[in-house]
């Protein structure tokens, strides 16, 4: 296809603003798919994604659009992940496009993550078409939303296309705008092959399937290809496009988007962001922007039943087939036994992995409270990465600690500015710029320790703003901080899995709150269970779970021993999700109690 | 074992908590007959009964069905104990009860010192009935006293007044019952501590040989269960523990000792049927929703009256189902039940495996269980279920 008739674009939208509906409508309008089997095939294919209403993996669908001019255009819709945890993946998807539709709900206005992604698109040189959706809604205020978008992205409010993805109104105008306003790709069709890998996933039957955007040259079935970052040579066994079903095409030319299957099973060989070139006539110049995935949040994963350790390892290995950003290594905890310390891109990524392990692999897990990666400077002049509080060296050998900071953007209705500022300050945030998007909505910038976000920041932000504030953040740098480790002792024994690194000023109140929370969460046992918080050898707080005094049924149900036994067995089953720590039964949620401590 | 079996009268001579007695009870054979009629259903009760405030029942027809069921049973040998319970056995004509005892004796024979126990409600008490029960052969009576506080009795939905009890007990003695029990229920949320203390004091002044104490339990599907799930206060475990401990202290100072979690007796008056159940003995069961246990099989009868009668009329055992236990299962049940006995339970392989398990070792360390004279004994009866739960899962996995 002549590049002048190709348009590659993604849709940037907040959850529920109508991305899937709009994509359906575009496909339907171009006859790519019948309305009936649309939902089932489209975009968000994983169950979890559908449930949470977010896109984790990228996707690309090609449609043919017959313009009024009589010419047929090839449109590639590249779906991007919609969450801050996956910002690297977002950036790679955007790099595969020349344009983006910034889709905003006419009754809601723009949200922080959407805006962050829109900024990213602008920085990557993409042409943006603002699209205001749901204009059919009575509460729609497209004029205000158009003003808001113009205020943050520049340009005129008239540039926004107004649509109802539901009724189809405005879809034709949108298709015209895509053809007229988005630039065509302008790579060198005769140069050496350079194609960007913007997603890779593992398919049980076909091995690794990679989505690519050909920038220069072309790729043909059977080509020997090379992945430039890791210098692997592979064979292009199959090349095709998704419509959205997979359709082999034999090849892809400059400007086109599609998939390549190489028969490899190891996803690490074809990493997102890498450049594909010909193995025999390689390009000298990889496309820019490749980065190794960088875990931001770490958590211990332990099977409740120690015998499940091997099953957990296998499950992690399998998940990794599809997720090269998931890293893990074996870890031993005195309290929890054998498990893994896993690194994640963020909290959502962590939750998704944990949920998939439990659901798809039927594992019963204890996950410890998430931690960030600290850098410990030792008195002997060496540095050490600390991904787990129990790895923090003793204070004697510790010179100082650095912790990761992030740049935070919060968009909130202006009435909540006060409460948001209060919260952020309590979380050691440093105020930066503040911009009014409109008289009612404001964009706030902060620098904050990532550790504070990893705790229950998001929940608190949501609850203080009745769900109206939105949040985005990106890593900035490491800064020295006055940090200490707070240990928790059960029955006089320190429980490593409960240790947390916190700022010195908050350590005392953290210890108190944590001990109190644990007292609520740990059920009464047959003996008193003292719970203590300590910094080093100094106990800063203490509570006791009083011994249970009665745990017996009075009667034997008139000789119905079977019933009695079944009752006991059911009760026992209910205790299965408990982990024995020493002689204390600890429920799984206690290990993330640190996240549930409410500062108020 | 043989010397014990030879002398069945040890029940009358051994202390209530004696391990020899518990082991003997394991060998006893007993029978239970269920009389499923009550004037109205008590708010906490989930037993299989017919609420006569709603439906009138034909007691004679039911009695005939039970007699027919007894005829269908081939038996497990001579009976050492019989318990007629309910429901409210005192609600039906004593002649029916006499017929049932006769039928049991004719069909299975009684040991010379057989215990024949009858549950009654105080509101049914008359001297004439008492005489009829004794004449029928009952030598033990169990009185549904529950409390000696009229307000608590009201909360429990019971129909008698506390003031009649002293007379009932002395008339029972005069009628010739060898052993007299009263049932108590404690720990209703509306029961003040003082009420319980006064009930306990006055029970101690009654001339009784045995007291059964039941912590009020909220069962799903009962009136109490519904009101608790609608927000009414539930019984408090700590309060119930205090009530229980108060009773144990008061009773033991009067020579009435706990031989099982809920059962307390003077020496020579431990209830045979009761002991045999907890010692995992064998028993027959007759009547609606009755349970039995013999040759490693647990059986249960229909809970619905129409089904029960229909099967009897068709000449079938009115079975709802059975469960077959292998040797391990039996040891497991014996352990689960025997932990409730003050005498403890023998160190079977299963008990051994439990003590060696991680959970078992923890209980030993914490002093919750101990091994004493070759038996596994619970130090605090109030945590029997906590221990039994672990014992069950150990025996399920380790054996
Ligand atoms: N009224 C109205 N509802 C819409 C429109 N577009 C999408 N929706 C609804 O908004 C909700 C979210 O849409 P969806 O496409 O799933 O959002 P996504 O999370 O961005 O993919 C669904 O209930 C849609 O039916 C529209 O133009 N008008
Ligand atoms: S009298 Fe006994 S069996 Fe009858 S309803 Fe009351 S508690 Fe239940």
Domains of chain A: which residue ranges?
3-181, 194-278, 297-370, 375-481, 485-599
- Residue B146 β-bridge partners: B184
Cβ contact (<8 Å) for B214 and A569? no
pLDDT for the residue A53:
44
> Which ligand is closest in space to the CA of residue B46?
2
Q: Does B389 touch chain A (CB under 8 A)?
A: yes
**Burial classification of residue B126, based on how many CB atoms lie within 10 Å of its CB (0-12 exposed, 13-18 middle, 19 or more buried):** exposed
Vertex B166: Cα angle to B162 and B171 (nearest 5): 130
Cis peptide before A244 (omega within 30 of 0): yes
Question: Which H/E stretch holds residue A63?
Answer: strand A59-66
Residues A556, B251: Cα–Cα separation, whole Å: 22
> Which ligand is closest in space to the CA of residue A114?
1
Residues A317, A338: Cα–Cα separation, whole Å: 16
Residues with CB under 6 A from ligand 2: B 38, 41-42, 45, 47, 49, 86-88, 121
Residues A471, A453: Cα–Cα separation, whole Å: 10
Atom number, ligand 1, closest to the C-alpha of residue A17: 20
**pLDDT bracket for residue B86 (50, 70, 90):** confident
List the structure tokens of A557: 């149900």
State how beta strands A493-494 and A483-490 pair: antiparallel
Q: Which of B283, B48, B393, B188 is nearest to A574 (CA)?
A: B393
Is B273:B25 a contact under the CB 8 Å cutoff? no
- Work out the minimum CA distance from A556 to partner chain B, whole angstroms: 9
Interface of A with B in 561-580 (CB under 8 A): 561-562, 564-565, 568-569, 571-572, 575, 580
Q: Does A583 touch chain B (CB under 8 A)?
A: yes
Within 10 angstroms of residue A361's Cβ, the number of other Cβ atoms is: 16
Contacts of A186 (CB under 8 A, 6+ apart): A3, A255
Q: Which of B131, B243, B145, B226 is nearest to B192 (CA)?
A: B243
* Residue nearest (by alpha carbon) to ligand 1 atom 24: A18
Is A281:A271 a contact under the CB 8 Å cutoff? no
Interface of B with A in 113-142 (CB under 8 A): none
Instruction: Pick the residue of A304, A307, A554 with the most B CBs within 10 A to test the interface with B by mutation.
Output: A554
Distances (CA, A) of A32 to A66, A239, A360: 12, 19, 33
Q: Does B144 touch chain A (CB under 8 A)?
A: no
pLDDT for the residue A54:
45
Q: Which of A117, A98, A104, A90 is nearest to A22 (CA)?
A: A104
Cβ contact (<8 Å) for B363 and A575? no
pLDDT for the residue A558:
65
Q: Which of B357, B343, B348 is nearest to B391 (CA)?
A: B357
CATH code linked to domain A3-181: 3.40.50.300
Higher pLDDT, residue A482 or B55: A482
- Work out the minimum CA distance from B315 to partner chain A, whole angstroms: 24
State how beta strands B110-120 and B79-86 pair: parallel
* Angle, helices A347-360/A309-320, rounded to nearest 10 degrees: 120
Of B217, B291, B385, the CB nearest to A559: B291
Which residue of chain B is at minimal alpha-carbon distance from A584?
B362
Question: Which H/E stretch holds residue B37?
Answer: strand B37-38
Residues A121, A112: Cα–Cα separation, whole Å: 14
Q: Does B166 touch chain A (CB under 8 A)?
A: no
Residues A333, A340: Cα–Cα separation, whole Å: 9
Residues B268, B356: Cα–Cα separation, whole Å: 35
Contacts of B148 (CB under 8 A, 6+ apart): B162, B165, B198, B199, B202, B203
- Work out the minimum CA distance from B53 to partner chain A, whole angstroms: 23
pLDDT tens digits, one per residue of B131-159: 999 999 999 999 999 999 999 999 999 99
Q: Which of B263, B129, B158 is nearest to B208 (CA)?
A: B263
pLDDT for the residue A36:
46
Kindly state the average pLDDT of the residues B300-313. 94
Residues B191, B44: Cα–Cα separation, whole Å: 15
Kindly state the average pLDDT of the residues B73-92. 95
- Residue A484 β-bridge partners: A502
> Which ligand is closest in space to the CA of residue A106?
1
Q: Tens digit of pLDDT per residue, chain A (600 long)?
A: 899 999 999 999 888 899 888 988 888 877 665 544 544 444 444 444 444 444 445 578 898 999 888 899 999 999 877 666 777 888 888 999 999 999 999 999 888 888 888 888 888 889 999 999 999 999 999 999 999 999 888 889 999 999 999 999 999 999 999 999 999 999 999 999 999 999 888 888 888 899 999 999 999 999 999 999 888 899 999 999 988 778 899 999 999 999 999 988 888 888 888 999 999 999 999 998 777 778 889 999 999 888 899 999 999 988 887 777 889 999 998 888 899 999 998 888 888 899 889 888 989 898 888 899 999 999 999 999 999 898 899 888 999 999 999 999 998 989 999 999 999 999 999 999 999 988 888 999 999 999 999 877 888 898 898 877 888 888 899 999 999 999 999 999 999 989 999 999 989 999 999 999 999 999 998 889 999 999 999 999 999 999 988 988 877 666 778 888 888 888 887 776 778 888 898 988 888 877 777 643
* Chain A residues near residue B81 by CB distance under 8 angstroms: none
Q: Which fold does the domain A194-278 belong to in CATH?
A: Elongation Factor Tu (Ef-tu); domain 3 (2.40.30)
Atom number, ligand 1, closest to the C-alpha of residue A13: 20
Residues A420, A448: Cα–Cα separation, whole Å: 13
Residues B282, B301: Cα–Cα separation, whole Å: 16
Kindly state the average pLDDT of the residues B18-38. 94
- Work out the minimum CA distance from A581 to partner chain B, whole angstroms: 12
Kindly state the average pLDDT of the residues B107-134. 96
* Chain A residues near residue B85 by CB distance under 8 angstroms: 558
pLDDT for the residue B1:
39
What's chain B's length in residues? 399
pLDDT for the residue A305:
85
Contacts of A459 (CB under 8 A, 6+ apart): none
Kindly state the average pLDDT of the residues B161-176. 96
Interface of B with A in 196-255 (CB under 8 A): 213-215, 217, 237-238, 240-242, 244
> What phi, psi does A548 have (nearest 5°)?
-75, 130
A12, A13, A21: which to mutate for ligand 1, most atoms within 8 A of CB? A21
CA atoms within 13 A on the CB side of A16: 6
Of B289, B290, B366, the CB nearest to A526: B366
- Work out the minimum CA distance from A526 to partner chain B, whole angstroms: 8
Mean pLDDT score across all residues of chain B: 92
List the structure tokens of A74: 């090839």
**Burial classification of residue B2, based on how many CB atoms lie within 10 Å of its CB (0-12 exposed, 13-18 middle, 19 or more buried):** exposed
DSSP string, A327-382: EEEEEEETTTEEEEEEEESSHHHHHHHHHHHHHHS---EEEPPPB--EEEEETTS-
B328-334: long-range contacts, CB 8 A cutoff, minimum separation 24: B328/B395, B328/B399, B329/B296, B330/B280, B330/B296, B331/B395, B332/B391, B332/B392, B332/B395, B332/B396, B332/B399, B333/A561, B333/A565, B333/B280, B334/B26, B334/B279, B334/B280
Ligand 2 center from residue B33 Cα (angstroms)? 15
Within 10 angstroms of residue B260's Cβ, the number of other Cβ atoms is: 27
Which residue of chain A is at minimal alpha-carbon distance from B87?
A558
B64-67: long-range contacts, CB 8 A cutoff, minimum separation 24: B65/B308, B65/B309, B65/B312, B65/B313, B66/B33, B66/B100, B66/B286, B66/B287, B67/B99, B67/B100, B67/B103
Cβ contact (<8 Å) for A564 and B336? yes
Model confidence at B7: pLDDT above 60: no
CATH 3.30.70.2570 fits A485-599, yes or no: yes
Cβ contact (<8 Å) for A551 and B386? yes
Cβ contact (<8 Å) for A580 and B358? yes
**pLDDT bracket for residue B191 (50, 70, 90):** very high
The conformation of residue B47, written as its DSSP 8-state character, comes to S
Q: Does residue B279 sit in helix, strand or coil?
A: coil
Q: Does B337 touch chain A (CB under 8 A)?
A: yes
* Chain A residues near residue B238 by CB distance under 8 angstroms: 549-550
Q: Which fold does the domain A375-481 belong to in CATH?
A: Alpha-Beta Plaits (3.30.70)
Q: Which residues in B237-395 belong to E strands, given as ranges?
A: 257-260, 263-265, 282-286, 291-294, 297-301, 319-324, 345-346, 369-372, 375-378
Ligand 2 center from residue B317 Cα (angstroms)? 26
- CATH superfamily placement of domain A297-370: Elongation Factor G (Translational Gtpase), domain 3 (3.30.70.870)
Kindly state the average pLDDT of the residues B30-46. 95
Torsion of CA A507, A509, A513, A516, to 10 degrees: 100
Ligand 1 center from residue A111 Cα (angstroms)? 16
Kindly state the average pLDDT of the residues B82-107. 97
pLDDT for the residue B10:
63
The conformation of residue B149, written as its DSSP 8-state character, comes to -
Atom number, ligand 2, closest to the C-alpha of residue B41: 5
Is A164:A129 a contact under the CB 8 Å cutoff? no
Distances (CA, A) of A444 to A119, A247, A476: 15, 46, 16
List the structure tokens of A242: 């998704």
Q: Does the fold of domain A375-481 match that of domain A297-370?
A: yes
Of B213, B238, B392, the CB nearest to A565: B392
> Which ligand is closest in space to the CA of residue B42?
2
């Amino acid at each position: 296809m002549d590049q002048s008739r190709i348009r590659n674009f993604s849709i940037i939208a907040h959850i529920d603003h109508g991305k899937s509906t709009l994509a359906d409508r575009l496909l339907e309008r171009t006859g790519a798919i019948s309305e009936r089997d649309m939902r089932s095939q489209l975009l968000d294919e994983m169950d979890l994604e559908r449930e949470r209403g977010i896109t984790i993996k990228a996707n690309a669908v090609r449609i043919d659009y017959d313009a009024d001019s009589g010419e047929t255009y090839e449109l590639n819709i590249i779906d991007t992940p919609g969450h801050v945890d996956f910002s690297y993946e977002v950036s790679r998807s955007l790099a595969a496009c020349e344009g983006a539709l910034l889709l905003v709900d006419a009754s809601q206005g723009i949200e922080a993550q959407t805006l962050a992604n829109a900024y990213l698109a602008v920085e990557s040189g993409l042409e943006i078409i603002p699209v205001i959706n749901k204009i059919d809604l009575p509460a729609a205020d497209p004029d205000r939303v158009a003003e808001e978008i113009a205020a943050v992205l520049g340009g005129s409010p008239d540039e926004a296309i107004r649509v109802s993805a539901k009724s189809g109104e405005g879809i034709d105008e949108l298709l015209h705008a895509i053809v007229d306003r988005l630039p065509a790709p302008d790579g060198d069709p005769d140069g050496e092959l350079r194609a960007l890998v913007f997603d890779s996933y593992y398919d049980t039957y076909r091995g690794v399937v990679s989505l690519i955007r050909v920038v220069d040259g072309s790729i043909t079935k059977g080509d020997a290809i090379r992945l430039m970052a890791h210098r692997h040579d592979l064979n292009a066994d199959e090349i095709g496009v998704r419509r959205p079903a997979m359709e082999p095409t034999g090849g892809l030319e400059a400007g086109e988007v599609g998939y390549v299957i190489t028969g490899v099973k190891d996803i690490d060989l074809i990493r997102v962001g890498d450049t594909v070139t010909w193995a025999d006539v390689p390009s000298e110049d990889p496309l820019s922007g490749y980065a190794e995935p960088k875990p931001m949040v770490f958590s211990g994963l332990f099977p409740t039943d120690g015998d499940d350790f091997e099953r957990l390892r296998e499950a992690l290995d399998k998940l990794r087939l599809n997720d090269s950003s998931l890293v893990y290594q074996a870890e031993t905890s005195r309290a929890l036994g054998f498990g893994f310390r896993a690194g994640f891109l963020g909290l959502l990524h962590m939750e998704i992995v944990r949920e998939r392990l439990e659901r798809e692999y039927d594992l019963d897990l204890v996950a410890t409270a998430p931690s960030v990666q600290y850098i410990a400077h030792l008195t002997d002049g060496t540095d050490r990465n600390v991904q787990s509080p129990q790895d923090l060296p003793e204070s004697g050998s510790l010179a100082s600690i650095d912790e990761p900071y992030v740049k935070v953007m919060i968009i909130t209705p202006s009435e909540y500015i006060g409460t948001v500022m209060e919260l952020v300050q309590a979380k050691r945030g440093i105020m930066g710029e503040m911009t009014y998007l409109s008289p009612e909505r404001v964009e706030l910038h902060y620098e904050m320790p990532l550790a504070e976000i990893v705790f229950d920041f998001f929940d608190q932000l949501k609850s203080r703003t009745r769900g109206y504030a939105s949040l985005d953040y990106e890593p900035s740098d490491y800064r020295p901080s006055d940090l200490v480790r707070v240990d928790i002792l059960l029955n006089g024994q320190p429980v490593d899995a409960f240790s947390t690194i916190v700022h010195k000023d908050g350590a005392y109140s953290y210890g108190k709150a944590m001990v109190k929370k644990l007292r609520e969460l740990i059920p009464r046992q047959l003996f008193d269970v003292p719970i203590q918080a300590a910094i080093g050898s100094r106990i800063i707080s203490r509570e006791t779970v009083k011994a249970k005094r009665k745990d017996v049924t009075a009667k034997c149900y008139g000789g119905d021993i079977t019933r009695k036994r079944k009752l006991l067995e059911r009760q026992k089953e209910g205790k299965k999700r408990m982990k024995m720590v020493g002689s204390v039964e600890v429920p799984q949620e206690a290990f993330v109690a640190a996240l549930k401590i409410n500062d108020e | 074992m043989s010397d014990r079996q030879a002398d069945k009268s040890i029940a009358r001579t051994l202390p209530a908590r004696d391990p020899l007695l518990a082991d003997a009870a394991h060998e006893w054979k007993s029978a239970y007959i269920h009389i499923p009629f009550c004037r109205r259903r008590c708010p906490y009760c989930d037993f299989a009964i017919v609420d006569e405030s709603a439906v009138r029942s034909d007691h004679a027809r039911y009695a005939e069905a039970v007699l027919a069921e007894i005829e269908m049973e081939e038996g497990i040998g001579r009976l050492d104990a019989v318990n007629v319970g309910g429901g409210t056995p005192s609600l039906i004509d004593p002649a029916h009860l006499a017929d049932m005892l006769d039928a049991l004796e004719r069909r299975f024979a009684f040991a010379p010192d057989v215990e024949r126990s009858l549950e009654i409600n105080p509101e049914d008490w008359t001297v004439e009935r008492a005489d009829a029960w004794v004449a029928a052969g009952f030598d033990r009576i169990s009185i549904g006293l529950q409390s000696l506080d009229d307000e608590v009795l009201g909360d429990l939905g019971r129909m008698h007044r506390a003031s009649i009890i002293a007379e009932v007990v002395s008339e029972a003695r005069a009628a010739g019952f060898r052993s007299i029990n009263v049932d108590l229920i404690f720990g209703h949320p509306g029961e003040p501590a003082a009420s319980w203390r006064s009930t306990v004091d006055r029970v101690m002044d009654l001339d009784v040989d045995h007291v059964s104490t039941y912590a009020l339990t909220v069962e799903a599907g009962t009136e109490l269960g519904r009101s608790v799930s609608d927000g009414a206060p539930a019984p408090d475990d700590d309060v119930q523990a205090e009530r229980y401990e108060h009773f144990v202290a008061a009773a033991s100072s009067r020579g009435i000792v706990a031989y099982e979690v809920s059962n307390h007796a003077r020496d020579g008056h431990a209830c045979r049927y009761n002991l045999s159940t907890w010692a995992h003995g064998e028993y027959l069961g007759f009547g609606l929703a009755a349970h039995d246990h013999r040759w490693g099989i647990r059986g249960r009868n229909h809970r619905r009256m129409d089904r029960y009668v229909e099967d009897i009329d068709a000449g079938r055992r009115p079975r709802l189902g059975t469960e077959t236990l292998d040797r391990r299962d039996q040891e497991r049940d014996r352990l689960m039940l025997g932990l409730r006995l003050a005498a403890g339970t023998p160190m079977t392989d299963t008990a051994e495996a439990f003590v060696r398990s991680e959970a078992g070792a923890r209980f030993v360390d914490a002093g919750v269980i101990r091994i004493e004279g070759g038996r596994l004994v619970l130090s605090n009866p109030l945590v029997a279920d906590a221990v039994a739960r672990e014992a069950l899962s150990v025996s399920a996995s380790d054996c």
